[in-house]
Amino acid sequence: MIKINENFLQLEENYLFSTINKKVSEYQKENPNAKIIKLGIGDVTRPLPQIVVEAIKKSADEMGNINTFRGYGPEQGYEFLKDKIIENEYKNLGIKSNEIFISDGAKCDTGGIIEIFNPNIKVGIMNPVYPVYLDTNVMYGTAGKYDQTTKQYSNIIYINSTENNNFLPKPSELTEIPDLIYICSPNNPTGVAMNAELLKSWVEFAKQNKSIILFDSAYKAFIEEDNIPHSIYEIEGAKEVAIEFKSYSKTAGFTGLRCAYTVVPQECVANYKAGEKDISLNKLWNRRTTTKFNGVSYITQRAAESIYTEEGKKAIKENIDYYKENAKILLDGLKKAGIQCYGGINSPYVWLKTPNGISSWEYFDILLKKYNIVGTPGVGFGTNGEGYFRLTAFGDKAKTIEAMERLTK
- Given the complex with ligand PLP, which of 218 and 339 has the nearer CB atom? 218
Report the chain's terminal Cα–Cα distance, integer Å.
Answer: 64
Bridge pairing between strands 100-103 and 260-263: antiparallel
- 197: number of Cβ within 10 Å: 10
3-state helix, strand, coil in the chain (%, to 5): 45, 15, 40
- 402: number of Cβ within 10 Å: 16
Nearest residue to ligand PLP, scored by beta-carbon proximity: 105
- Given the complex with ligand PLP, which of 110 and 306 has the nearer CB atom? 110
The correct pick among 77, 105, 112, 253 for binding ligand PLP (CB under 6 A) is 105
The correct pick among 7, 162, 255, 309 for binding ligand PLP (CB under 6 A) is 255
Given phi > 0 = left and psi -120 to 50 = alpha, else beta, which region is 135? alpha
Candidate ranges 103-111, 302-310, 337-345, 383-391; the one touching ligand PLP (CB under 6 A) = 103-111
Q: Based on the shown chain and the rule CB under 6 A, indicate whether residue 90 belongs to the binding site for ligand PLP.
A: no
Sheet with 388-392, side-by-side order of all strands: 341-343, 349-353, 388-392, 376-377
The correct pick among 78, 90, 117, 130 for binding ligand PLP (CB under 6 A) is 130
Candidate ranges 30-38, 102-110, 115-123, 141-149; the one touching ligand PLP (CB under 6 A) = 102-110
Size of the site for ligand PLP (CB under 6 A): 14
Candidate ranges 26-34, 104-112, 154-162, 264-272; the one touching ligand PLP (CB under 6 A) = 104-112
Report d(CA 128, CA 324) in Å as an integer. 23
Nearest Cα neighbor of 348 from 383, 315, 308, 391 is 391
Q: Based on the shown chain and the rule CB under 6 A, indicate whether residue 107 belongs to the binding site for ligand PLP.
A: yes
Binding marks (x or -) toward ligand PLP, 155..194, rule CB under 6 A? -----------------------------x---x------
Q: Based on the shown chain and the rule CB under 6 A, indicate whether residue 347 belongs to the binding site for ligand PLP.
A: no
Q: Environment class of residue 162 by beta-carbon count within 10 Å: exposed (0-12), middle (13-18) or buried (19+)?
A: middle
The correct pick among 247, 289, 301, 360 for binding ligand PLP (CB under 6 A) is 247
Report d(CA 196, CA 194) in Å as an integer. 7
Minimal distance in Å, beta carbon 349 to ligand PLP?
A: 9
- Given the complex with ligand PLP, which of 184 and 368 has the nearer CB atom? 184
Report d(CA 225, CA 221) in Å as an integer. 11
Q: Which residues are CB-neighbours of 209 under 8 A, at least 6 positions away?
A: 177, 179
Minimal distance in Å, beta carbon 107 to ligand PLP?
A: 3
Binding marks (x or -) toward ligand PLP, 3..42, rule CB under 6 A? ---------------------------------------x
Q: Evaluate whether 55 touches 302 at the Cβ level (below 8 Å).
A: yes
Report d(CA 169, CA 105) in Å as an integer. 26
The correct pick among 123, 194, 260, 334 for binding ligand PLP (CB under 6 A) is 260
- Given the complex with ligand PLP, which of 130 and 298 has the nearer CB atom? 130
Q: Which of residues 197-236 bind ligand PLP (CB under 6 A)?
A: 216, 218
Residue 61 sits at the vertex; the CA angle it makes with 104 and 81, to the nearest 5 degrees, is: 40
Minimal distance in Å, beta carbon 130 to ligand PLP?
A: 4
Evaluate the omega torsion of the peptide bond into residue 189 and state whether it is cis, within 30 degrees of 0. Answer: yes
Q: Based on the shown chain and the rule CB under 6 A, indicate whether residue 361 belongs to the binding site for ligand PLP.
A: no
Contact residues: ligand PLP, CB under 6 A: 42, 105-107, 110, 130, 184, 188, 216, 218, 247, 249, 255, 260
